[in-house]
Chains A and B, each alone.
Chain A
Amino acid sequence: MSQTLTVSGVGLEIAERGSGRPLLFLHAGEGLAPERPWFDLLARHFRVIAPWHPGFGRSVLPDWIGSVDDLAYLYLDLARTLKLHDGVLVGAGFGGWIAAEMAVRDTRGFGRMALVDPVGIKVSGVTERDIADMHAVSRDEVLQRAWADPVRGAIDTTKLPESELAAIARGRESLLVFGWKPYMHNPRLKHWLHRIDIPTRLLWGAEDRIVTPAYGAQWRALIPGATMHIILEAGHYPQWEQPETFVQQIIDFAAS
């Protein structure tokens, strides 16, 4: 299902499936999980290209890569390498932050951008949190905040093979390379969102308590012409909790 492609000297593991309009999907901090239904559903309508971020899956995290800027340039290079034209750029959670950092730089190759419960901007005061501190609460509370139905998100790690556990541990560590301080955002990004010049849709899980729909409304206000759609009975990962609705939303937006 996956192949390795070297982009700008970085070996990326990429899951690719389907045909038609290209859709570059940038995964959330929790991982890509193409084995969940969303991936195949999406691949019925698009040529889905979904890299594991450097440090996730089998993608290499070289020492010199250390910021979301690096990831944005890396994926812009990937889009150029693949000669994407009129693609749909979709970023979920942490991947939404990367997608926005790409779009403020260069939207050639893409005709649409969908951000799914993205982190990445800071809008409230210094003592207030826009993005829940997932590293100051228990894993149980992270699940409670991230899922409309936490049972769907629970993983029994005692039953997973060591290779998968190593990938989980490596992904958790890699996320922090990019997102520890400032926590899961770039203080300057909101001042550049006005540069985004392709139609942008925000998709938001109604029950997301990592980043709430009210925070999503701030994103919408900062991106020229952006629209927003709330997905019911979903938290931070609508692509996993409501895959059919999520995919239909992407189809409708891409065709609009």
Chain B
Amino acid sequence: MRVWYFSEMAYHPAWSEGLKRGSLRVVLPNGHIDPVEAHGLLNRYLDEFALCDEVGLDIMVNEHHSTATCMTVSVPMALAVIARETKCARLLSLGNPIANRPDPVRVAEEMAWLDVLSGGRLEMGLVKGAPYEIAPANSNPARLMRRYWEAHDLILKALSTTDGPFNWEGEYFHYRNVNIWPRPIQQPTPPVWMTGMSVETGKLAAERGHVVGTLLSGGLAKPMYDAYRARARELGRETGPDRLAFAACVGVGATRQEGLRRAHLIADYVRTSPVVAEPFTNPPGYNSIAANVAMLKAGPRAHRLVTDRQGNPIDHRTATVQQFMETDTVFAGTPDDVVAQITDFDQRMGGVGHLLAFGQGGWLDHADTKENIRLLGEEVVPRLRALHPAMERRPAAAE
């Protein structure tokens, strides 16, 4: 198993204001961010990413917009800094919300540039993005996935074509001379990742052989992984653990109490993430008709809940670490505890090769974050490698 450290680079000083207003995203005025304080935090978070390389962790970066939960506005910008500060870590962009990007060829250029800069260490997530990203991008939620797939196909073609220029006159995107420079080291393209929470996403990723990632609920992940494996088998392929990824909060301590304390603070990521004004949670077209029928049936006061292994509903906004551990949202404790929990999870899921570890939740301070990273990299990762030994760290292509 490979473990990827991940932080959204939160601006937690504004959380109390956002929680008071009922939205940390979209409508919380940016007067509530102090840019000088943000300067200190961003540099601190980047130092934490750099530390991952020293302790044997891979690195994942994502982006969100118009929110106090995540200051990373551009995966390529963040990874450009991190690529220069790291030597071995593979760098996962998870990812570019390509249905919200007006210019897919620019996305391909940036990904190729990062792959070249990092010596072929890039892993490339092409994601749908969260529903509340629709408003900041003013992207049309109707026919979103049609735009996604056209962008996806164009990006992969731009990255893998070596005898261009080529022409693209599609439904959403128009170019007459696509011919990106540089082109990626990893040919035909860096490994492609998708994300989602549904069986349908599992099938679609399987059809293309992409890595598929999901997050925060083993109960939702399992049907998606099973759908991936089943669809791949129909197409004559067996699915190795390297095709499946899961994101969860991971808190490690020298003592169980310390690990749980860290996990409690990291889990603020999960508690704050869904706090967004109602109209931005489900723009029409973002979710399927069937999902919308279910939501209309449940009524406006029903919140989306996940259930624990006993079937009890858990509200992400208020759950405790103990409750989160029941839903596979959090792994926490001593290195022994965490290895045991993840090993158990891996077995229940039937083999998951990538753990995307949320290791920063805002109020976890620099010293705690560093120690969490160190224990994860030095005490947990070496023992998790044994789970799926075929997935050893590959050397960078340029080394």
Contacts and interface: CB of A to CB of B under 8 A. Distances in A.
Contacts of A63: 146, 171
| Residue with the greatest number of chain A CB neighbours at <10 A, chosen from B277, B279, B283, B284 | B284
Nearest to A64: B171
Contact of B296 (A66, A160, A177): A160
A173 B284 CA distance: 5
Contacts of B285: 172-173, 176-177
A136 B140 contact: no
Interface string B117-157: 00000000000000000010010111100100000000000
Given A177-B143, A180-B141, A169 B298 contact: no
Nearest to B143: A177
A136 B279 CA distance: 5
Contacts of B298: 158
Contacts of A128: none
Contacts of B278: 138-139
A176 B285 CA distance: 8
Interface in A170-204: 170, 172-177, 180-181
Interface string B289-314: 11011001111100000000000000
B130 to A, nearest CB: 16
A157 interface: yes
Nearest to A160: B296
A51 B2 CA distance: 56
A158 B138 CA distance: 30
Interface residues of A, number: 25
A66 B146 CA distance: 12
A135 interface: yes
A157 to B, nearest CB: 4
Interface string B331-364: 0000000000000000000000000000000000
B279 to A, nearest CB: 6
17 contacts: A136-B279, A139-B278, A139-B279, A156-B299, A157-B299, A158-B297, A158-B299, A162-B293, A169-B284, A169-B293, A172-B284, A173-B285, A173-B289, A176-B140, A176-B141, A176-B285, A177-B285
Closest 3 CB pairs of A and B: A169-B292, A172-B284, A176-B142
Interface of A: 63, 66, 135-139, 156-158, 160, 162, 165-166, 168-170, 172-177, 180-181
Given A169-B293, A173-B285, A173-B292, 11 more contacts: A63-B146, A158-B296, A165-B293, A165-B296, A166-B293, A169-B289, A173-B289, A174-B142, A176-B141, A176-B284, A177-B285
